[in-house]
Structure 1
Amino acid sequence: MILRKTYLTGMCISGLMLRRRPEVAPPEYPPSELEAGKISLPELGKMFKMQTEEKNVFLKKIFSVGAPVIAIAFAELLIFSGRIKEAAITYTLLLIILSLSIIVSKKLETRKIYQAFILLPILRMVNLSMPIFFESSLYTFVFIYVPMTIPATIISVHQKIPRESKGDLLKKMKIYLPFSILAGLIFAELENLFIQTSPLIPDLSLFNLLKLTIIMIFVIGLTEEFIFRGIIQTRLEEFLGPAGGILLASLLFGLMHSSYGTPYEMAYTFLAGGVLGYFFYRTKSLALVVMIHGFINIFLFGLIPYLGPGLGLI
């Protein structure tokens, strides 16, 4: 699962937001009191006013999150249809609008959401504008993803997103590592049913496998999971609740794979992103989902193209 390189020279959102509503609840009265007429007209008016305010806050949440998501979906559909120039213009406008919205928005949680969303136009614009430096696209990914760690880190530090304890990570690594390899193989085999990948290394020599592993785990896997799970999902969970956060972050993850040119790949990465999002929600371990993501790519773009499905064992 890589955000495939595309060159210039080369929603039902509301359903996701039903998970979490404002915590202000209208006063409840027993049916007997209503029937007996013990509730005064001012009290009834206050109750209806609170319900109206709750509805207005809910609708504002739909718009504040739904508008940028729809814009991202529109831009990715343009890429899917091969209209790269129009997609670049759309992302440029979205980048400007999100930047201005961060400045003028009075609500802290809305500003945090937009700061998280702004990473996606930046990522896609870097992806679209990257020239060809090397014959192998493997090295090109370094120039796309490494720069993205700068704005992602700035946002993470600014928003004080909690980090995983190194001590806990080292204790769990004996479980995480074999689980990541197995999960990565399963996901890669399933994804191989939808897309036919070419190897990103010339052969399976130790040097090439080491190079592929470093880039797939510590460059691509780390950057994508840091953005989609570590920042975007974390913020959406606070805004929409766990279910809404996981689903919407996964939807964005799937949409950002539009450059593969197949709806099956987008649907699959949406589902795979949902599983990774659930793992992250349950464990709060970015390292776990980074390793799973990395091993998916190692198998998909390294081992499976040479050894075949089942790594040649089937």
Structure 2
Amino acid sequence: MSDPQLIRIGARSSPMSLAQVERVRAELAAANPGIATEVVPFTTSGDRWSGALVELGGKGAFTRELDQALLAGTIDLAVHCVKDVPGDRPVPAGTVFAAYLKRDDLRDALVHPGGLTLDRLPAGSRIGTSSVRRVAQLAQRWPELEPVPIRGNANSRLAKLDAGVVDALLLAVSGLERIGAQDRITEILTVEQMMPAVGSGTLALQCRSEDEAVVEAVGALNDAETFRQTTAERMLLHVLQGHCNSPIAAFATTEHDGRLSLRARVFSADGKTTLDAHEWDRNALALGTSVAATLLRQGAHEVINAIPH
């Protein structure tokens, strides 16, 4: 009997990333009983840096080391949150997203120790978030609240909240669920209250494109509808050429008739300008391109380029 195939999985060493890898390992084992897996943890430059991401070149700070390890052959598979993967450029040549796992909850959540909702927080309350998308939407709908930049993984942010550094946090529902902290959620915001980031709730599995055995094994985990939705969202981001300081929000859903719906917004940093588009199509790439074109006709390039990056 031959030895089982070994897939070395690279992941950031945060509790959330490691929880995501355990999900991948379990799904791989169920789909491919002959495969063994090994976790190779990384601490990326984005994890080490406590300042603004734009100073490190944007979201690529969370993926660059894993890209390099894949291409060097020291790992066979990288697990990414799609919302952390830069959308203004393709994945590095020689790599491919072989699968998108079935999407988790894409909404944002408020965590407040006193159990208040955003609408009930006192004026001047400090809301911890480093997302320009969330900051713009806070400024638009809750201008009396004060966004406070806060970096670090979800566990460290919760610790800072408990220490009184901020009064409340905005975090992804899916992230809190992955670390078993869903009981900390005070309010789940609707997509109208806080439109999600491109790729929210979705995990992407990246392999070397020439590694056919791994691509095939990992491909068995792909969720077809999540793949279509995420493809539409990422095409939108690519055409808009949004940078890491661009408040861009979008989410795709699948209608009963099989068409994709894609809703997208581009905000100015202060939330005073909002561009909105919503279209339907069966072709994910065509839909992402079309919605982006609609936003560009409304002036999206001017709004995006007005924000320093």
User: Structure 1 length normalisation: TM-score?
Assistant: 0.28
Larger helix proportion of the pair? 1
Higher relative CO (CA 8 A, sep ≥ 6), structure 1 or 2?
A: 1
Larger strand proportion of the pair? 2
User: Structure 2 length normalisation: TM-score?
Assistant: 0.28
